[in-house]
């Protein structure tokens, strides 16, 4: 089925980590691919991220952390989305995530993790393939 | 024939050579565009050795900041570096964990002071017991809440490694003065006067707004804190470096080489001006400015030119703009030379990063600095560096130092038509950048209005676009990725000295430590001093350093102090600028 509106993506930086080059580059890149992208800026709490996601009714939440706090933050975002009946939003993550943490995060509901060197066209393809269908 | 005629003749001949020799030859290989460059004396028509290069350690310091390039001499008992050098950026978990790590390293013959990495709550002015920072305590560095935590860490530094004998680095920006005050209070308890301390807080707050992001207050009150540093440190702490400016973070945040140079120099100018405005003599405090490093890339010759240009620019800024008289004011003190740039390290086929780091280290030697092959190749794989990767990085550095003879000559590319022309080009572009920033009102304004942040984001996006289009190539990332390429890995044989379990438990433990401090300190005195801080903060001309020292003595927490300042200064609006 054809989507009636652009895919809407929220790119968010949970926690105190300020390394947002990747988040910004991804925001620009996905926008260039025709998606509507909202970047939250730095230092977002889980609640703030989920509020923005719900308010904007996004299809995708992309979380970026380079500080090692991903095991705490990513699952919290997934859980709070689910509690708010938004479990169908696609949650993906990026940053410096050790390989051994990827299965843990996937098990907790993060659909995919994209590490350094990932091409944005691959992330775009992944989103288009896995995003929720809209009636 | 005079020089000018000679140069135009060379220029003519070069043009002729390109048309009649180069292009026909290129066309035979099916190449339409000029495939390679060739530089001649006509590319540096006004070159003047004494004005543009000068001798090592002399104005304008293009050749090198010092007359000698201090490569440690084996025959003079060069200390084993790398794994056993305390200068490495380190710290994790609770203060106890970090103290034990330093003790362990001391057993491995480490000497010298620590280069403290702090966790993000500390860098952003939050205590370990604050709910919003759950999950971040003791990660990327050690948690510091009160003087108690410094007392614990520095139990690893006593006797011949006591505070008056070591130099301590602290990577702290927004709350630099508060942590320096804790360090002073710690020394005082050991009977060491602050005048004897050697310490380098990073204290480069402006670049935090551009990249890295550990700001607390808006730029202007942040600059007031910086003014307090210049004034108080110059008067009372002759052994402290006031700031350690980083262009590195700006480049890693996305800036081009020219943007980085323009932004970091503009930021340096803003700091210098702050001191001058406060009435401090430029030659009394400029020598206490250091640079922790500039950015790097794989483009070896351009990085060589960049390093040379940065030294020349800083020297000119100090001499011509600020009227500095002392050589020490004009010379960039920067322990790190050219390098590959951390963000150029790849997760894909990570061992290749060792090769990349060697290219960066060679660029450093060729630009008049010391070779340092870094980062360790496994940096993109996770947040802890393996000792194996550090060993390889250290050995790569040693091979360049001791086997190649490269360190025998300083600035070997001086006079090269290409490198001199590149140096001019980069410097000119950076001056233009500074001019633009000054047109806006200076670095602080160019940060408040988001100019520097937007420029970095734009450049980062452009770089990514070139990578996606394969205009910029990265081996193993966007080329040579076919399945018959081998992913070579190393097997881990030495455990990382950071204890995973301790790191995991750090948050709980540090909360308990903090609760204990709050229970046993004189809370009434803390409250009184915090009120005093509030009224002092409201008076623009008050220097807050003496109050921070009083507060440190009474075990006031970092956040208690920052919260008072937040209420007076406000917090930086976290605009995303995308």
End-to-end CA gap in chain B: 57
Smallest CA–CA distance, residue B482 to chain A, in Å, is 16
B576 and A42: CB-CB below 8 Å? yes
pLDDT over 80 (residue B426):
yes
pLDDT for res A68:
87
Radius of gyration of chain A (CA): 13
What confidence category does residue B476 fall into, taking pLDDT thresholds of 50, 70 and 90?
Answer: very high
Q: Over chain B, what is the mean pLDDT? A: 93
A2 belongs to a structural domain: no
A118 belongs to a structural domain: yes
What's the rounded mean pLDDT across residues B498-503? 80
Residue with tokens 């503009």: B266
pLDDT over 70 (residue A134):
no
Nearest CA in chain A to B124: A16
pLDDT for res B335:
83
Residues of A in contact with B461 (CB under 8 A): 24-25, 28-29
Q: A90-95 and B89-90 as β-strands: parallel, antiparallel, unpaired?
A: unpaired
What's the rounded mean pLDDT across residues B532-549? 98
> What are φ and ψ of residue B73, in 5° steps?
-90, 125
Nearest to A29 among B345, B461, B474 (CB): B461
What's the rounded mean pLDDT across residues A111-120? 95
* Contact status of B216 with chain A (Cβ, < 8 Å): no
Whether B82 and B450 have beta carbons less than 8 Å apart is answered as no
Nearest to A43 by CA among B473, B527, B212, B508: B212
pLDDT for res B84:
45
B507-537 pLDDT, tens per residue?
Answer: 999 999 999 999 999 999 999 999 999 999 9
pLDDT for res B574:
66
pLDDT over 70 (residue A66):
yes
Give, as one character, the DSSP assignment of residue B111. B
What confidence category does residue B332 fall into, taking pLDDT thresholds of 50, 70 and 90?
Answer: very high
b/e burial code for range B159-173 (CB count within 10 A of at least 16 → b): eebebebbbbbbbbb
Tally of domains in chain A: 1
| The pair of three-digit structure tokens given for residue B342, joined into one six-digit string | 């951390």
**Quick one: how far is CA B291 from the chain centroid?**
6
Nearest to B368 by CA among B51, B58, B49, B37: B58
Other C-beta atoms closer than 10 Å to the C-beta of B471 total 10
pLDDT for res B576:
67
Q: Over chain A, what is the mean pLDDT? A: 94
pLDDT for res A74:
97
pLDDT for res B31:
86
What's the rounded mean pLDDT across residues B541-560? 98
Nearest to B153 by CA among B203, B105, B102, B197: B102
Rounded to whole angstroms, how far apart are CA atoms A110 and A78? Answer: 7
* Contact status of B407 with chain A (Cβ, < 8 Å): no
Longest CA–CA span in chain B (Å) reads 87
pLDDT over 60 (residue B482):
yes
B44-85 pLDDT, tens per residue?
Answer: 999 999 999 999 999 999 999 999 876 766 655 455 444 445
B526: left (phi over 0), alpha (psi -120 to 50) or beta: alpha
A99 belongs to a structural domain: yes
pLDDT for res B519:
98
In terms of average pLDDT, the best of B4-18, B369-383, B415-429, B477-491 is B415-429
What's the rounded mean pLDDT across residues A79-103? 95
DSSP conformation letters of B183-241: HHHHHHHTT--GGG-EEEE---HHHHHHTT----S-HHHHHHHHHHHHHHHHHH-TTB-
Residue with tokens 């709070």: A80
Smallest CA–CA distance, residue A72 to chain B, in Å, is 6
Residues of B in contact with A68 (CB under 8 A): 139-140, 383
B453-471 pLDDT, tens per residue?
Answer: 999 999 999 999 999 999 9
Residue with tokens 């018959």: B484
B102-155 pLDDT, tens per residue?
Answer: 998 888 777 889 999 999 999 999 999 998 888 999 998 999 999 999 999 999
Smallest CA–CA distance, residue B383 to chain A, in Å, is 7
B162-199 pLDDT, tens per residue?
Answer: 999 999 999 999 999 999 999 999 999 999 999 999 99
Which of A43, A65, A100, A104 would you mutate first to test chain B, the one with the most B CBs within 10 A?
A43
A45 belongs to a structural domain: yes
pLDDT over 70 (residue B236):
yes
pLDDT over 60 (residue A107):
yes
List residues of A whose CB lies inside 8 A of any B CB. Answer: 15-21, 24-25, 27-29, 32, 39-43, 45, 67-69, 71-73, 96, 98-99, 115-117, 119-121
B498: left (phi over 0), alpha (psi -120 to 50) or beta: beta
Smallest CA–CA distance, residue B177 to chain A, in Å, is 20
Angle at B374 between CA B369 and CA B379, to 5 degrees: 160
CA dihedral sign, ordered A28, B211, B153, B178: negative
Residues of B in contact with A105 (CB under 8 A): none
A29 and B464: CB-CB below 8 Å? yes
A96 and B380: CB-CB below 8 Å? yes
A98 and B477: CB-CB below 8 Å? no
Lowest mean pLDDT among A73-77, B66-70, B493-497: B493-497
CATH number for the domain spanning A121: value is 3.40.50.280
CA dihedral sign, ordered B432, B434, B436, B439: negative
Lowest mean pLDDT among B83-97, B206-220, B258-272: B83-97
Give, as one character, the DSSP assignment of residue A59. S
Domain with A52, as residue range(s), is: 8-130
B488: left (phi over 0), alpha (psi -120 to 50) or beta: beta
Nearest to B136 among A27, A67, A115 (CB): A67
Q: Report which secondary-structure segment, H or E, holds B244.
A: strand B243-246
pLDDT over 50 (residue B86):
no
What's the rounded mean pLDDT across residues B6-21? 94
ipTM given for this complex: 0.93
Rounded to whole angstroms, how far apart are CA atoms A28 and B100? Answer: 44
Rounded to whole angstroms, how far apart are CA atoms A52 and A61? Answer: 10
pLDDT over 90 (residue B384):
no
The H-assigned helical ranges of B369-450 are 387-403, 417-440, 443-448
DSSP conformation letters of B301-362: HHHHHHHHHHHHHHHHIIIIIT----HHHHS---S------GGG--STTTTHHHHHHHHHHH
């Amino acid at each position: 089925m054809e989507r009636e509106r652009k895919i809407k993506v929220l790119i968010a930086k949970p926690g105190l980590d300020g390394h947002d080059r990747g988040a910004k580059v991804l925001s620009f890149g996905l926008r260039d691919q025709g998606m509507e992208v909202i970047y939250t800026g730095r230092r977002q709490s889980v609640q703030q991220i989920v509020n923005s996601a719900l308010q904007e009714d996004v299809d995708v939440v992309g979380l970026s952390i380079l500080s090692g706090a991903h095991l705490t933050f990513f699952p919290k975002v997934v859980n709070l989305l689910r509690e708010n009946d938004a479990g169908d939003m696609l949650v993906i993550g990026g940053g410096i995530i050790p390989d051994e943490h990827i299965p843990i995060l996937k098990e907790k509901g993060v659909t995919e993790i994209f590490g350094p060197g990932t091409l944005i066209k691959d992330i775009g393809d992944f989103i288009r393939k896995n995003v929720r269908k809209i009636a | 024939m005079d020089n000018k005629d000679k140069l135009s003749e060379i220029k003519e001949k070069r043009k002729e050579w390109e048309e009649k020799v180069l292009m026909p030859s290129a066309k035979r290989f099916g190449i339409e565009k000029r495939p390679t460059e060739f530089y001649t004396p006509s590319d540096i028509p006004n070159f003047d050795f004494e004005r543009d290069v000068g001798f090592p350690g002399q104005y304008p310091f293009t050749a090198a900041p010092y007359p000698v390039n201090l490569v440690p001499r084996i025959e003079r008992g060069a200390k084993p570096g790398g794994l056993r050098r305390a200068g490495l950026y380190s710290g994790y978990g609770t203060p106890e964990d970090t103290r034990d790590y330093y003790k362990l390293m001391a057993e491995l013959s480490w000497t010298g002071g620590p280069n403290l990495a702090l966790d993000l709550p500390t860098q952003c002015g939050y205590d370990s017991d604050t709910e919003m920072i759950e999950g971040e305590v003791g990660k990327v560095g050690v948690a510091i809440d009160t003087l108690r935590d410094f007392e614990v860490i520095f139990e690893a530094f006593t006797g011949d490694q006591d505070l008056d004998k070591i130099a301590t680095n602290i990577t702290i920006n927004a709350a630099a003065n508060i942590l320096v005050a804790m360090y002073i209070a710690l020394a005082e308890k050991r009977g060491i006067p602050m005048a004897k301390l050697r310490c380098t807080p990073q204290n480069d707050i402006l670049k935090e707004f551009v990249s890295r992001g550990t700001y607390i207050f808006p730029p202007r009150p942040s600059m007031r804190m910086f003014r307090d540093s210049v004034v108080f440190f110059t008067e009372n702490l002759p052994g402290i470096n006031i700031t350690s400016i980083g262009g590195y973070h700006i480049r890693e945040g996305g800036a081009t080489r020219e943007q980085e140079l323009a932004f970091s120099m503009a930021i340096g100018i803003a700091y210098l001006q702050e001191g001058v405005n406060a009435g401090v003599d430029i030659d009394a405090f400029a020598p206490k400015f250091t640079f922790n490093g500039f950015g790097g890339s794989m483009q070896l010759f351009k990085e060589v030119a960049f390093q040379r240009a940065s030294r020349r620019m800083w020297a000119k800024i100090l001499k011509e703009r600020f009227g500095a008289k002392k050589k020490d004011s004009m010379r960039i003190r920067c322990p790190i030379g050219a390098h590959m740039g951390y963000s150029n390290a790849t997760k894909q086929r990570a061992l290749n990063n060792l090769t990349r780091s060697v290219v960066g280290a060679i660029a450093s030697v060729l630009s008049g600095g010391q070779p340092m092959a870094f980062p360790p190749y496994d940096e993109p794989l996770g947040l802890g560096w393996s000792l194996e990767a550090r060993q390889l990085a250290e050995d790569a550095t040693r091979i360049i130092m001791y086997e190649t003879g490269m360190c025998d000559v300083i600035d070997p590319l001086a006079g090269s038509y290409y490198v001199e022309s590149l140096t001019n080009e980069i410097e000119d572009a950076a001056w233009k950048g500074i001019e633009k920033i000054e047109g806006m009102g200076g670095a602080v304004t160019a940060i408040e209005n988001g100019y520097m942040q937007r420029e970095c984001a734009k450049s980062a996006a452009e770089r990514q676009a070139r990578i996606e289009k394969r205009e910029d190539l990265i081996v193993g990332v966007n080329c040579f990725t076919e399945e018959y390429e081998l992913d070579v890995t190393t097997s881990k044989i030495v455990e990382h000295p950071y204890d995973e379990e301790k790191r995991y438990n750090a948050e709980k433990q540090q909360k308990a430590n903090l609760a204990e401090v709050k229970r046993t300190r004189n809370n009434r005195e803390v409250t009184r001093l915090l009120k005093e801080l509030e009224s002092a903060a409201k008076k623009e001309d008050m220097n807050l350093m003496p109050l921070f020292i009083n507060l440190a003595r009474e075990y006031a927490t970092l956040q208690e102090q920052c919260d008072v300042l937040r209420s007076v200064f406000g917090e930086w609006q976290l605009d995303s600028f995308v």
